[in-house]
Amino acid sequence: MFAGKIGLLLLAALTIPQNGIVAAGANQMPKGWGADGWGTFKLSIKNGGSKSARVVEWKAWWEANGKRIGDPLSGNIEENVQPGNEWSKVEYAVLPANIAKAAKPNAARIVGEISVAIDGQKTPYKFEVEVPEYVLPEPLKTVSGKYVALSVMESRYKTFKHVERTMKWMDEAYGRMIDLTGETPFDGRKMTLKEAPPHPWWAYAGENMILNTDYVASALKQSDEGGIPFGWVHEVGHNFDTLGDWYIWNGPAAEWQANFKLGYAMETHPDPTIRMFWEHYPPGYPAPPGDHPLIAGQEYIERFFLPFGDVYLADPSRKWDSMTSDEMHSFFQRIQRIYGWEVFRQWYRTYRKLQDAGMKPPTTPEEKVALIAAILERNAKADLVPVFQRWRFPVTRQTVDAAALKYKLSQ
């Protein structure tokens, strides 16, 4: 349900051409944004002039019925746009609930300007984006397990037949992640899978794990057919990175960590009947048509995560900082297969000891990777530097030993 008149969603505003430059802003979520929910909008510059232009930055603010409200938005760009070419970028923002309310019966707007420099002279070009509010058409109903709750629209329970089994599966996956990491997120408070208006992702983590309403029906259908939704377990995995500052060095590393915990939970899950839908094949291994069976957790790891790194290894031009989350997973899962899960159970617990001792996490990706290697090889009782180097990680015997000494791993 939309608040106010929607108008044209995809085209928000164009500036009057100046120096051949035309700026525009466009809402990327035509259904609307949820109040206090994430959304995306695209900024673009067309260079119809004869000179090279440099997109420097953008800044904007929320408006409700012509009144500026809330904190400003901004971003640095530094991109060159040659004559006849176009630049664009998708930006993310949250629609504050108070702004959505203040704009009624109309839609809130993002109003701003993109600064473009030509011959060293910077000129602002205005844009506007209309952001209608999306409200779920019915209230949510919550069903609670021991550790995890599910809160989705009431009518979904009319066709969702295996609620109890699904929540039991989620609770048990949660318990397995405690066993792996030794951590209990949110001081043991229950975490909730909560349906919400459309947003830029399938779901995102937190004490409330925000489910995109567009994908909830398919997740419930998978549960009824005997397969626990991959994404639900994945988001729980994110919540267990209470010490993530120690070992997460970029976005793909965060996604690997969520899936690594998912892998442990599904491989060691106490219910032998639990399955996941096998929908994706690793690169380099063509998928047969229509092959989407339900498979056990260990088989999922063997058929997807383990071989995923082959293409990366075969391409010497790829550097370590280009690795995707699944390529990282492939690397660390191979170490796990050789040396066992206990090495990683103690790996997580080592970080807890360092944290509790008042030590500070490494600050650079290279330092984090060196400490990762140092802890793993002490738990595995093996020299893992050549293994890390084979995957082109930036470690040497000297950097790993220095990390071990700095963090007193021998004590």
Q: Are strands 148-153 and 191-196 parallel, antiparallel or unpaired?
A: parallel
Examine the domain organization and report whether 55 and 146 are in the same domain: no
Q: Is the residue at 384 inside a domain?
A: no
Domain boundary among 111, 131, 151: 131
Examine the domain organization and report whether 316 and 244 are in the same domain: yes
Q: What is the mean pLDDT of residues 361-374?
A: 98
Tokens of 300: 């999922």
pLDDT band at 6 (very low <50, low <70, confident <90, very high): very low
Q: Which residue has the tokens 């510059």?
A: 45
* pLDDT reading at 2 higher than 50: no
H/E stretch holding 389: helix 385-390
Domain boundary among 109, 131, 153: 131
Examine the domain organization and report whether 245 and 272 are in the same domain: yes
Examine the domain organization and report whether 110 and 204 are in the same domain: no
Q: Is the residue at 187 inside a domain?
A: yes
pLDDT at 17: 54
Dist CA 163 CA 177 (whole Å): 21
Domain boundary among 102, 131, 160: 131
Dist CA 2 CA 34 (whole Å): 10
Q: Is the residue at 37 inside a domain?
A: yes
Examine the domain organization and report whether 50 and 148 are in the same domain: no
pLDDT at 411: 73
Which residues pair with residue 124 across a beta bridge? 115
Examine the domain organization and report whether 299 and 277 are in the same domain: yes
Tokens of 23: 């700026």
Round the average pLDDT of the chain to a whole number and report it. Answer: 93
Report the CATH number at residue 213: 1.10.390
Dist CA 151 CA 157 (whole Å): 10
Do 339 and 380 contact (CB within 8 A), yes or no? yes
* pLDDT reading at 5 higher than 50: no
pLDDT band at 395 (very low <50, low <70, confident <90, very high): very high
Q: Is the residue at 23 inside a domain?
A: yes
pLDDT at 40: 97
Tokens of 105: 């019966």
Q: Is the residue at 397 inside a domain?
A: no
pLDDT band at 394 (very low <50, low <70, confident <90, very high): very high
* Sheet hosting strand 208-212, strand order edge to edge: 140-144, 148-153, 191-196, 208-212, 203-204
Examine the domain organization and report whether 166 and 30 are in the same domain: no
Q: Is the residue at 293 inside a domain?
A: yes
Q: How many CA atoms lie within 13 A of 371 on its CB side?
A: 25
Per-residue model confidence as pLDDT tens digits over 196-230: 999 999 999 999 999 999 999 999 999 999 999 99
Do 333 and 301 contact (CB within 8 A), yes or no? yes
Dist CA 200 CA 28 (whole Å): 9
pLDDT at 7: 38
Examine the domain organization and report whether 75 and 195 are in the same domain: no
Residue 39, amino acid: G
pLDDT at 108: 97
Q: Is the residue at 87 inside a domain?
A: yes
Q: At what angle do helices 230-239 and 213-224 cross, to 10 degrees?
A: 110
Tokens of 286: 């063509």
Q: Is the residue at 66 inside a domain?
A: yes
* pLDDT reading at 113 higher than 70: yes
pLDDT at 9: 38
Residue range of the domain that includes 93: 13-131
pLDDT at 18: 65
pLDDT band at 1 (very low <50, low <70, confident <90, very high): very low
Examine the domain organization and report whether 171 and 234 are in the same domain: yes
CA angle, residues 164, 180, 236, in degrees to nearest 5: 45
Do 248 and 257 contact (CB within 8 A), yes or no? yes
Domain count, the chain: 2
* pLDDT reading at 377 higher than 50: yes
Examine the domain organization and report whether 78 and 173 are in the same domain: no
Report the CATH number at residue 72: 2.60.40.10
DSSP 268-312: S-S-TT-BEE-----TTSPPPTT---EE-HHHHIIIIIGGGGHHH
In a 3-state reduction of DSSP, which class is residue 22? strand
Model confidence, pTM: 0.90
Examine the domain organization and report whether 225 and 342 are in the same domain: yes
Per-residue model confidence as pLDDT tens digits over 265-294: 999 999 999 999 887 888 988 887 776 789
Examine the domain organization and report whether 90 and 186 are in the same domain: no
Burial category of 170 from C-beta neighbours within 10 Å (exposed 0-12, middle 13-18, buried 19 and up): buried
Per-residue model confidence as pLDDT tens digits over 28-84: 998 999 999 999 999 999 999 999 999 999 999 999 999 999 899 999 999 999 999
Helix locations, 141-296, DSSP H: 163-181, 213-224, 230-239, 244-247, 251-267
